[in-house]
Amino acid sequence: MTKDLKDSFNAAGSGRRPGAPGAAASVSGGIGTSGAGRGTATGGTSSGGSGVGEAPPAPAALAAKVRTLAPSMTRSMQRVAEAVAGDPAGCAALTVTGLAELTGTSEATVVRTARLLGYPGYRDLRLALAGLAAQQQSGRAPAVTADIAVDDPIADVVAKLAYDEQQTLADTAAGLDTVQLGAAVTALAGARRIDIYGVGASGLVAQDLAQKLLRIGLVAHAHSDPHLAVTNAVQLRSGDAAVAISHSGSTGDIIEPLRVAFDHGATTVAITGRPDGPVSQYADHVLTTSTARETDLRPAAMSSRTSQLLVVDCLFIGVMQRTYESAAPALAASYEALAHRHSPRTR
C-alpha cells in the first residue's frame, strides 16, 4: 500500500459514508476505527456485518466463521477459535474460565474471541457450540479433511479437492449476509455504469462478473490494470457502482480505485475473505467469502476463487431477477448473436 493510500486510510473522517448499510464495528487488533458510519466496540466485535444489534451467527455458520477469521486473529485468539471449532461439544460444557485454562489464554481473550466471531458474549457462544455439537452428532460430515500429499494417487486428489470445494461453498453460503447481498444487488441493478476491480486470480473473477452483466445489457467493465482502474474510477459519480474483489482485503491495487470510486459518490461493494481488512473501509456493502485451508499444493488463490465465483453468481442472478424485463431479451440477443459460432461448420 502506498504512503498516500495509508495516509488517506488513516485520515479522520475517511471510510464508510455515514449510515452506510455495510458499516461494521472495528476489531480489536485489526484495522483502526474509521470515520462516521463505522462503530466502535470495546474489546472487538464481529466484522463484515455482524455489528452491535445484529443476530449472532447460526450454529452451522460457526465453523465457517472460524475458518474465515482465524488468519487475522492473534495467536491466543486462534487457540480459542481452534478449540471451539475442533471440539464444540467439549467446549460447550466449559465455563469461560475453563476454556481459558484449556487454551492457555485468559478469560478476556475468550470473550474477545466470542465477540469477534459475532456473539455478544461467551454465554451466546456456548449456546451456539451446543447447537453445533448436536448437528454434528446427527451425522454431519467432519469439518476437516486431510491435506493433499505430494505422493497422493490422483483419485485421492480428486476426492480431497472435491470435498474442500464443497466445504468452501457451504461455508461461504452459511456466512454470506443476505441483507448486504440484497443491497449490493439493488445497487448494481440500478447503476448507470459498473466498474469491477481485481488482480491475479481475483481478476479472473472480476472478468467473469463483467461478462455476465454485459450479456444482460448492463454497462460493466473489469479492470486488472491498477492505473486504468484508478483513471476509470475518477469518472464515476452518484448512480454508478464499483465492485472490488480481494481475498486478502489488503491489496493496494484494489483498495485505491475503490477509494477513488467511493470518494466520487459511487456505491461501492467489496467481495473479500477478510471483512476486517482495509478494503472494507471504502465499501458500502461487504460480501464475505470463505476459503479452504491453504497448503503447499493448494494456494489461497484456488480456494478463494471458488467462493468468489459463488458470490458473483449470486449477485448476477439477483440482478437478473431485478431487471428481468430488460435482461431476458438482452441475454437472448447475445445467445442469438453467438449461435452460429457453436453450430457445425459446413464446407
Q: What fold, for 175-336?
A: Rossmann fold (3.40.50)
Q: What is the pLDDT of residue 295?
A: 60
Query: How far apart are the C-alpha atoms of 180 and 175, rounded to whole Å?
Result: 11
Sorted by where each begins, the domain ranges of the chain are: 45-144, 175-336
Return the closest-CA partner of residue 314 out of 221, 215, 196, 178: 178
CA-angle at 186, arms to 181 and 192, nearest 5°: 130
- Grid cell listed for 303: 480456494
Per-residue pLDDT reduced to its tens digit, 41-55: 333 333 334 443 455
Q: What is the pLDDT of residue 3?
A: 42
Per-residue pLDDT reduced to its tens digit, 160-212: 888 888 888 888 898 899 999 999 999 999 999 999 999 998 999 999 999 99
Q: What is the pLDDT of residue 82?
A: 87
Mean pLDDT across the stretch 231-237? 97
Per-residue pLDDT reduced to its tens digit, 280-319: 999 999 999 986 556 655 665 576 888 999 999 999 999 9
Q: Mind giving me the DSSP string for 113-176?
A: HHHHTT-SSHHHHHHHHHHHHHHHHTTPPPS--PPPPTT--HHHHHHHHHHHHHHHHHHHHHH-
Q: Mind giving me the DSSP string for 306-329?
A: HHHHHHHHHHHHHHHHHTHHHHHH
- Grid cell listed for 277: 481488512
Q: For residue 71, report the phi and psi dihedrals to the nearest 5 degrees.
A: -60, -25
pLDDT at 9 over 80: no
184: left (phi over 0), alpha (psi -120 to 50) or beta: alpha
Per-residue pLDDT reduced to its tens digit, 100-150: 999 999 999 999 998 888 888 898 888 888 888 887 776 554 443 456 777
End-to-end CA distance of the chain: 56
Buried b / exposed e along 46-79 (16+ C-beta atoms within 10 A): bbbbbbeebebbebbbbbbbbbbbbebbbebbbb
- Grid cell listed for 107: 478469560
- Grid cell listed for 16: 464508510
Q: Exposed (0-12), middle (13-18) or buried (19+): which is 296, by Cβ within 10 Å? A: exposed
Query: How far apart are the C-alpha atoms of 289 and 65, rounded to whole Å?
Result: 10
Q: How many residues does the chain have?
A: 347
Q: How far is CA 129 from CA 4, 94, 230, 305, in A?
A: 44, 11, 45, 29
Q: What is the pLDDT of residue 49?
A: 40
CATH of 45-144, one of 3.40.50.150, 1.10.10.10, 3.40.50.720, 3.40.50.300: 1.10.10.10
pLDDT at 27 over 90: no
Q: What is the pLDDT of residue 157?
A: 82
Which amino acid is present at 55?
Answer: A
3-state secondary structure (DSSP) of residue 346: coil
Q: What is the pLDDT of residue 138?
A: 65
Q: What is the pLDDT of residue 47?
A: 39
- Grid cell listed for 162: 472435491
Query: How far apart are the C-alpha atoms of 249 and 273, rounded to whole Å?
Result: 7
